[in-house]
Amino acid sequence: MNKKSSVPDLSRRRFIGSSCCAAVGATGLLSSLASLRLIGAAASPSNGPQPAVTGGAIAPDFKALVCLFLQGGNDANNLIIPSDATSYAAYAAARSNLALPQTGLLPIKSSDGRSWSLHAAVPELQSLYGAGKAALLANVGTLVYPTSKAQYTASSVPLPPQLFSHNDQQVQWQNSVPDKPTTTGWGGRLADLVNAFNSNNQISMSISLAGTNYFQVGSTVSEYAVTTNGGVTFTGSTSSKTSNDGIRYQAQKDLFTASQPGLFDTAFAGISGSALNDTDVLNAALATAPTLNTVFPTGLDGKTLTTAASQLKMVARLIGASSALGLKRQVFFVQLGGWDTHAAQLINAAPTTGTHALLLAQISQAVNAFYNATIELGVANQVTTFTASDFGRTFRSNGDGSDHGWGNHQLIVGGAVKGGDIFGKMPTLTIGGPDDTGLGRWIPTTSVDEYAATLATWFGVSATNLSTVLPNIGRFAHPSLGFV
């Protein structure tokens, strides 16, 4: 009679059967990695073994940029609303059933001599703005050259191709080169340029909480996609050395290091193995990062973090782990969808109901919590969060919502931000007016290039290197807009 062994039961049949369950996670992992530039985006380029990561306080010269992409096209015409009697009346007449009631709007100050208010759903953003920690950038959008209405009408200057198209405008916002094909994004080119600040390249300085994006694609620095729980690993993986899951996980990792029969197999195994090792490094660093006491907002169930909050909380945790990862510069990509509000933009004309209000409230609460987390980590002045979106939306209602526009207003938050003001130039809010291409689609008066150049300069890019990050910046008058 055989005695029971203290070693876990790892018969061939049971091992293979259990591994099939793990393979479901592996398939998702490798499929995800493959979509990120043929798996290479799972880890930044490495030249041989990397030094071991060590913990410690966040470096005093640390900086992070956080791109918060509002996918679908935010209707910022209802984020910033004119509030003097004459301007509000014109706004209400033009927007008809999309106009927000003036009662409940949140007043803000501006140096442009006009009276403005914010949507009733964003009291947290109003507080950050009033405290000088948030600024607004008016009427920014994709441009090939500065463009007036006369030039637009006469087609006398090149325009961004496929205006008002979601996919094209998302790409152009994220690569900032609308007039020619490019394989990199401006965040990726930025990372290529400043990556020398980092002492350890095992974990990429460019981390996405929203999967594949164009913004972070670089020539030498690849984006690294993680989840709101940390690095992506196999289903059932564990650090335990004696459990069935732990032994299977190690065996699967060992398979990647074994000799392979062909070049493709060798490349696939090597990159996949490196991705898993990087996941182990990242998750170990997160485990030793400071525990955040900042409370992030939950959804209607009162338990589950909202989509924006869960992503931004992980960004805060990754910033807390930056010293352990050997990173003095980090670029993050966070995304919230649902902004394509052709319908149900408002419900019963109530200011805090409807698709748009709920999305704005989610952003307001999550960004406020994230800013508070940077205060807790002692890096509020070293982290700048900025929004981007496909485009603005039409000033004129389509009956139940708004349609695809062009120029849009954006938000910048952080301790280094010169907040409490609206930068750039607000459009003339008149359908058929000097800034309108039709239906209230505003011609941008500030380019994405100028917006990005201001952020890149704060991040450490010199004036002589700005054209490396933003090839078209020389066409525009304001490489620094002054908001940071």
pLDDT at 244: 76
> For residue 335, what is the enclosing H or E element?
strand 329-336
Query: Per DSSP, what are the bridge partners of residue 383?
Result: 64
pLDDT one-digit tens code per residue, 185-207:
999 999 999 999 999 878 999 99
Burial annotation 292-305 (CB, 10 A radius, 16+ → b, else e): bebebbeeeeeeeb
> ∠173-178-181 over CA atoms, to 5°?
115
> For residue 408, what is the enclosing H or E element?
strand 408-413
The whole-angstrom separation of Cα 411 and Cα 136 is 5
pLDDT one-digit tens code per residue, 280-296:
899 999 999 999 999 99
Q: CB neighbours of 374 closer than 8 A, spacing ≥ 6?
A: 316, 319, 380, 382, 383, 414, 415
Q: Taking Cα atoms as reference points, which of 284, 332, 344, 363 lies closest to residue 71?
A: 363
Which CATH class for the 12-475 domain?
alpha beta
Q: Taking Cα atoms as reference points, which of 332, 318, 315 lies closest to residue 370?
A: 315
Residue found under tokens 């979106």: 389
Q: CB neighbours of 100 closer than 8 A, spacing ≥ 6?
A: 78, 81, 119, 120, 346, 351
Q: Taking Cα atoms as reference points, which of 129, 35, 41, 67 lies closest to residue 387?
A: 67
**Residuewise pLDDT in 10s, the chain (484 residues):** 444 333 344 444 444 344 433 333 433 343 333 333 333 344 444 433 344 444 569 999 999 999 999 999 999 999 999 999 999 999 999 999 999 999 999 999 999 999 999 999 999 999 999 999 999 999 999 999 999 999 999 999 999 999 999 999 999 999 999 999 999 999 999 999 999 999 987 899 999 999 999 999 999 999 999 999 999 877 666 666 677 777 777 787 777 777 878 887 777 777 777 778 888 899 999 999 999 999 999 998 999 999 999 999 999 999 999 999 999 999 999 999 999 999 989 865 555 678 999 999 999 999 999 999 999 999 999 999 999 999 999 999 999 999 999 999 999 999 999 999 999 999 999 999 999 999 999 999 999 999 999 999 999 999 999 999 999 999 999 999 999 9
DSSP state of 430: -
Amino acid symbol at 453:
A
Q: How many CA atoms lie within 13 A of 410 on its CB side?
A: 31
The two structure tokens encoding residue 456: 């890149």
Whether the Cβ atoms of residue 383 and residue 372 lie closer than 8 Å to each other: no
User: What is the separation, in whole angstroms, between the first and last Cα of the chain?
Assistant: 77
The whole-angstrom separation of Cα 129 and Cα 123 is 10
What region, left, alpha or beta, does residue 176 occupy, with left being phi > 0 and alpha being psi -120 to 50 degrees? left
User: What's the Rg (C-alpha) of the chain?
Assistant: 24
Rounded to 5 degrees, what are φ and ψ at 206? -105, 110
By DSSP bridging, strand 446-447 and strand 224-225 are unpaired
The whole-angstrom separation of Cα 428 and Cα 432 is 10
Find the DSSP H helices in 156-262.
166-175, 186-194, 244-257
Domain ranges of the chain: 12-475
pLDDT at 238: 65
